Amino acid sequence: MAQFKSESMSAVFQEQAAKLGSRACVSYKKGDQWADISWTDMNTMIHNIAYYLMSEGIKKGDRVAIFAPNRWEWWVASLATTSIGAVSVPIYATNSSEEAQYVLEHSGSSICFVGTEDHADRVLKIIKKCPKLDQLIIFDDLSKKKQSVITLKEALEKGAKKAKPADFDKRLKSIKRDDLSTLIYTSGTTGNPKGVMLSHYNFFSNVKNIMQDMGQFFSINDIWLSFLPLSHSLEMTTGYYGPIWAGAKTAFAESIEKLVANFTEVKPTVIISVPRIYEKVHAGIVAKFATESGIKKAIFNFALNTAKKNLPHACRDIPRKGLFAIRFNVADKLVFSKLKAAIGLDRLRYAISGGAPLAVSDAEFFIGMGLKILEGYGLTETTPVITYNRPWFIKPGTVGQAIPETKVKIADDGEILVKGPQVMLGYYKNKAATEEVMTKDGYFRTGDIGVIDEDGCLKITGRIKDIIVTAGGKNISPQNIENSIKESPYIEEIAVIGDKRKYLSALVIPDFEAVGKWAKQKGIKFANNSDLTRNEEVIQLIGNEIAKYTKQYSRVEQIKKFTLLEAVWTQETGELTPTQKVKRKVIEQKYAKEINAMYPPDNA
C-alpha cells in the first residue's frame, strides 16, 4: 500500500482502509436486514471505479457529478472521483430536471452518477442541453437499456479489467492542498445557485480542526447514521468525512419517511441533522403526553422539570450529586430511558445540529434528558464549520466557540466575518461575486448578523438580506421572530412580512396533525385542512400561540395580522430550498393577494 501525505480526505480514506481492513465501513438496508461492507471492499470498489473513470479519459480537474440520495454507492463515486484529482459535483437528489441541468451545464460535468432510473430519466430529459455530458452511471439496475447509461456494476467490472494501481497512486499523490476537490452549488433562496469551489485542504483542515477537540469523543466503535443530504456541506464534512477520520461505521437511512424506524434498527451513537428533525421529535413527544391525564402526565411533568434542573450539569459536564442525582435517576428510569429507547436514541451520545437555528426549547429538552446536542454554525462557503458547542461547554441559544485556526469577528454593521483554512477558493466562473464577499484584509463576509458573548460564544441574530425595514424605519430580523413562533407545537411554518409596511404580518402554515387532534378534542367538525384554516376557533388558537411565543419582543416586532394557509411549503412547489430554507421572494410573489389583504389601503 502506497503511503500518502494526508492533506486530502481521499488520502485519509486510504490510510484508514489499510488500518481497518475487514472492519465494517458502511451499512445499508438490504431487504429486511442491515448489511455491512468492509473498508477493504469499499476501497476495492473505489479503485475499480477510479480505474474506469481514468479509462474513460477523466483527467485531473474534470468534473464528475453525483445525482443520488444517500447510499454507500455515493461514497464510492465521490472517493473514486476525488482520489484521481477529478472534481466531484453533488446534486440534491430532490432536484428537478431543470435544477440538475443548471448544475451539470454550469459545472461542465462530463460524467454523472445517478441513483435511480428516475434520476437517470431526469438527466436524460435535459442531456442535450449539457454539451459536455456524455455518460451516466446508474447505481440501481436498469429495467431496460438506456442510451448513454451504464450500471455501476458494469463500470466496476470494466474498471477491474483496466486496473492500474500505480496510476491511481500517482494521481492521489499529485493532489495539492489547494487543488479543487468539490463544487457545491448553494441551494440559494434567490436567483441561480452559485458554485462554491472547495479545495482538498478546505475539507481536510475543517475535519482536522473539528476532531482536534472532538476526536477523543469518537471511536471506531461508533455508528453514525447518514440521512442529511450528502450534497449538503454539513453532511459532506461531518457525516461523510467525519466518520472516515474517526474510523467509525456509517449506516445509511432508507429515507426521511423511515427515519424513526431506522433509528430503532440501527441505534446510532452519532447523528448529524438540521433542527427540523429535533423539532418534530420534540413536538411529537409533547403532543403524546398532552393527551394523557392523571399519574402519567404528572410523571412526565416531573421528568420535564428534572430535565430543566439538569441543564447546568449536562451543559458543563458537572456530576450530579446527592438528592438531585437520585431524582434524575428516577426520572431517567421512568421517562427518559423509555423515550430514548422508543425512538431508537438510547445509544446516542452526540447529535450535531446545523444548517439553521435550533430553538432553545428543543435544545434544552434533549440536553436536559441526557442527549448532547451540539449546535454549530457555518456556510457552504466555509466547508462549513466555523463554530460549535463543545460537549463540556454547551450554551443553548448560541452556536458555540470558533474551531482552531479560525478567526471570527463582528463588523461595525453587525455582520459576522470569518478567516480560516476552511474558507472557499471562490465562486466558480464568478469572480465578481467572489470579490464581493471578501474584505480587503481577507475575511469572508457571511451575510449573517451576530454577537460574540463574554464566553466567546457566537449568537446569530439575523440575516442581512432578510432584514425588514418597516415604514417607520425600524430594522427587524424576521428569522428570530419566526424561530420563536415555530416553537409552538401548532405551527409548522411561518413567514413574517413587513418590509416598507407600517406593521408586521405573517403567513402561517399550521401543524395540521397537531391542530387536527386539538380540533377533535374541542368537538370541531372538519373534513380537510381548508376547513381548519377557516375555523374561527383554530384562527384564535394560532393567534394565541403567536402572542405567547412573541411576548418577549418589542411592540414594533409584534405580529399584528396573520393568514393561515392550507398548502404545505415544499421544494417541489417552490417555496423551500433543498435545505428547507424559506424562499422569501417566491412566497411574497406567490401569496401577494393574501399579503395585500392584510394591508388595507389606509394601513399599507
| pLDDT of amino acid 289 | 80
- DSSP alpha helix (H) spans, 476-591: 478-485, 512-521, 529-534, 536-549, 584-590
| pLDDT of amino acid 5 | 66
Answer whether 90's CB lies under 8 Å from 184's CB.
Answer: yes
| Residues 368, 374, 377, 383, Cα dihedral to 10° | -160
Question: Please, which pLDDT band fits residue 1 given cuts at 50, 70 and 90?
Answer: very low
Q: Is the pLDDT of residue 290 over 90?
A: no
- DSSP alpha helix (H) spans, 268-319: 275-290, 295-316
Q: What percent of the chain is predicted at pLDDT more than 90? A: 85
Q: Is the pLDDT of residue 574 over 70?
A: yes
Q: Enumerate the β-bridge partners of residue 77.
A: none
Query: In Å, how far are 66, 74, 235, 334, 424 from 230, measured between CA atoms?
Result: 10, 8, 5, 37, 18
User: Length of the chain, please?
Assistant: 604
Question: What type of residue is 85?
Answer: G
> What is the tens place of the pLDDT at every residue in 352-374?
999 888 888 899 999 999 999 99
> What is the tens place of the pLDDT at every residue in 53-85?
999 999 999 999 999 999 999 999 999 999 999
The three three-digit cell numbers of residue 333, written as one number: 428510569
What the chain holds in terms of domains, given with CATH numbers, is: 9-272 (3.40.50.12780), 274-464 (3.40.50.12780), 467-597 (3.30.300.30)
- Mean pLDDT along residues 441-467: 95
Q: Is the pLDDT of residue 536 over 60?
A: yes
Q: Which range, of 30-39, 42-51, 282-291, averages the lowest pLDDT? A: 282-291
| pLDDT of amino acid 192 | 82
Answer whether 10's CB lies under 8 Å from 47's CB.
Answer: no
Long-range contacts of 153-159 (CB under 8 A, 24+ apart): 155/48, 155/49, 155/52, 156/45, 156/48, 156/49, 156/52, 158/52, 158/55, 159/47, 159/48, 159/49, 159/50, 159/51, 159/52, 159/53, 159/55
> What is the tens place of the pLDDT at every residue in 135-179?
999 999 999 999 999 999 999 999 999 999 999 999 999 999 999
